[in-house]
Amino acid sequence: MNRKKANFLLSLGCAFILAACGGGEAVHTNADMPAAEAALSEETEDAEEEKHSGDGAETVDEEAEQSEDGKEAKAAEGSLMPPMEMDETLRNQLTEEMLEENEMDTSVVESAPVTKGCSFTLPEDFSESEDIEGMYVTKRYPIDASTIYYVALGRDVTLQLMTEETFKAQAEENFRKEYGEDIEVHIDSFERIQIDGCPAFRILCHYQVGDTKMSQLEYAINADKSYVITYSQTDDYDRMEEYEASAETIHLEF
């Protein structure tokens, strides 16, 4: 896979990380926008270099005669300009090219089915949290910090480009920002599956925050919307069997 192009597309808006953090809180983090701006800037610079690679002479304009102070002022002004955005049609086209190149599922780009929502059965001990929308906790929370977090996001075709490497890298970056320290994420399994005919991911991973060991089972479905269900637990309580049973009931509503 062309890693530069794939990472560029992912950085523009891939909402595939829902990391459950220490203390039982579930935190939803999207792709880093500064990284997207940097990637876009790099792509733009590459295009400009290619455009002028054949020029035989340098061009001189009024800016070349500005004072050093004037140049610095202009540079500072330029840094405040709003970030460029990639047209959705172009993003879809580039994503489809990358998927075809790597023989991946292109159905989400071509004709994603219209869905009304996503449903699944909660394990017996879980009920909706009063504090965080989409989060489900046990009756003994926060003593038992096991959580289930569900979110429906806008359509994001770049989700299909996700790999084990990009998931791990973005998760670790999110933790670095959240905790100010390096937390290594270990991927136990990374599978491309289908749920009700739509491409999806099943990701099992574990990591440690301070003295707390966490394991996480995540399902991400890519249709006309992106649906993500994240099951998390600490090493004090093993609910993975209950989580797996709940995951088997995940269905899209059409």
Q: In sequence order, what DSSP letters do the residues of 34-52 get, joined into one string? A: HHHHHHHHHHHHHHHHHHH
Separation between Cα atoms, residue 239 and residue 140, nearest integer Å? 14
% of the chain residues with pLDDT over 90:
47
Residue 135's pLDDT is 95
Helix H or strand E encompassing 126 = strand 126-128
Per-residue b or e along 31-70, where b marks 16 or more CB atoms closer than 10 Å to that residue's CB: bbeebbeebbeeeeeeeeeeeeeeeeeeeeeeeeeeeeee
pTM: 0.67
Q: In sequence order, what DSSP letters do the residues of 143-204 get, joined into one string? A: TS--EEEEEEE---GGGGG--HHHHHHHHHHHHHHHHSS----EEEEEEEEEETTEEEEEEE
Confidence bin at 13 (pLDDT 50/70/90): very low
Confidence bin at 116 (pLDDT 50/70/90): very high
Cα–Cα distances in Å, from 22 out to 123, 205, 210?
A: 21, 15, 8
Task: Say which residues have a Cβ less than 8 Å from residue 231's Cβ, sequence separation at least 6.
Answer: 147, 148, 216, 217, 218, 239, 240, 243, 246, 247
Q: Which comes out higher in pLDDT, residue 140 or 24?
A: 140
Q: What is the DSSP letter of 63?
A: G
Give all domains of the chain, ordered by start, each with its CATH number: 3-38+85-253 (3.40.1000.10)
Using one digit for the tens of pLDDT, what is the confidence trace for 153-190?
988 888 888 999 999 998 999 889 888 899 999 999 99
Q: Per-residue pLDDT averaged across 103-116, rounded? A: 79
Q: Which comes out higher in pLDDT, residue 7 or 127?
A: 127
Residue 25's pLDDT is 35
Q: Tell me: pLDDT of 201 over 80.
A: yes
Q: Which of 32-36, 141-145, 157-161 has the highest mean pLDDT?
A: 141-145
Helix H or strand E encompassing 109 = helix 107-111
Q: Tell me: pLDDT of 37 over 60.
A: no
Q: Per-residue pLDDT averaged across 203-216, rounded? A: 93
Largest pairwise CA distance in the chain: 74
The whole-chain average pLDDT of the chain stands at: 74
Residue 196's pLDDT is 97
Q: At what angle do helices 164-179 and 3-11 cross, to 10 degrees?
A: 50
